[in-house]
Copies of this chain bind each other. A is one copy, B any other.
């Protein structure tokens, strides 16, 4: 979206914050802004890799989740909880994936309220190819060192736990 800037805009913002007497929060502001920007860069790379497969990241995540479930099948509500997205987002994603014949809806055998989503053969094949592409083109050349990765996992895991994402204290 343009040539590199001569200077780091986030470091500049941090200095501006300090200059205005917000020194207490300048560093957390810079860290949070950096997370937002990093996510934007990574999402761009991921969507670029997924585009040839006709998948968005949200839809890939749903397929990948199903590929790890027993029988390639989950209730809609369970997918919503595990992906931490709104139920209507799951409905929307499943609609599109079903249109592409990558998943199928079916009735829960004992609870009539529940809809199950299941990976089709075609869906399983596609998610395997997409995962291989993401592994080699994004995760294997992430731009983070092993130390970076270790620190990110540790710091962000603590953050997510304190934010109420999960209870597991290990």
Contacts and interface: CB of A to CB of B under 8 A. Distances in A.
A2 B167 contact: no
A30 B153 contact: yes
Q: Interface majority SS on A: helix, strand, loop or mixed?
A: helix
A82 B28 CA distance: 20
A158 interface: yes
A40 interface: yes
B142 A2 contact: no
A10 interface: yes
Interface of A: 1-2, 4-11, 13, 16, 22, 24-25, 27-32, 34-43, 68, 80-82, 84-86, 131, 134-135, 138-140, 142-144, 146, 148-153, 155-168
B6 A85 contact: no
12 contacts: A2-B80, A4-B166, A7-B168, A8-B168, A10-B157, A27-B150, A28-B142, A30-B153, A37-B84, A38-B160, A40-B84, A143-B162
Given A39-B36, A152-B34, A28 B166 contact: no
A6 to B, nearest CB: 6
A47 to B, nearest CB: 12
Contact of A9 (B29, B36, B38, B166): B166
